[in-house]
Amino acid sequence: MQYMVRMTVTLPPDLDPEVREQLVAAEKAYSQRLQQEGRIAAIWRVAGQFANYCLFDVASHDELHELVSGLPMFGYIQAEVEALATHPNSIR
C-alpha cells in the first residue's frame, strides 16, 4: 500500500543546538534505513520550507503509523497522510 505523507517540521526556536544536531542526525539515519528497506520509496524537500513529501510503501495503515510515529522528530512533525490508489489512466 502506498501513502503520500507531507511532513511539516516545526522545531522550537530555543532548542539547544546540540540537541537539534542530534535530532537531525538521528532523523537522517532513520530515514535512510527506511529508504534502504524500500519502505520510503521516495522523499522530496518542499522547496523553501522545512517540510517534505515522503512516499511510503508499506503493508498496512498500522505499519505506516509505526514508522511515522517512530521518526525521531515525530513530536515536532505535523503529518498529513493520503492513501494512494491506482489511477485508471496510469500506463504503469
Ligand X SMILES: O=C(O)C[C@H]1C=CC(=O)O1
Contacts of ligand X in 11-50 (CB under 6 A): 27, 31, 43
Across 1-92, the runs of DSSP E, i.e. the strands, are 2-9, 40-45, 51-57, 77-84
68 binds ligand X (CB under 6 A): no
Quick one: cell of 42? 521516495
Residue with cell 537522517: 28
Do 92 and 12 form a contact (C-beta atoms < 8 A)? no
Shortest distance in whole angstroms from residue 6 CB to ligand X: 10
- The correct pick among 2, 4, 6, 9 for binding ligand X (CB under 6 A) is 9
Q: Which is nearer to ligand X, 4 or 73 (CB)?
A: 73
Question: Which residues in this chain contact ligand X in the complex, by CB under 6 A?
Answer: 7, 9, 27, 31, 43, 52, 71, 73
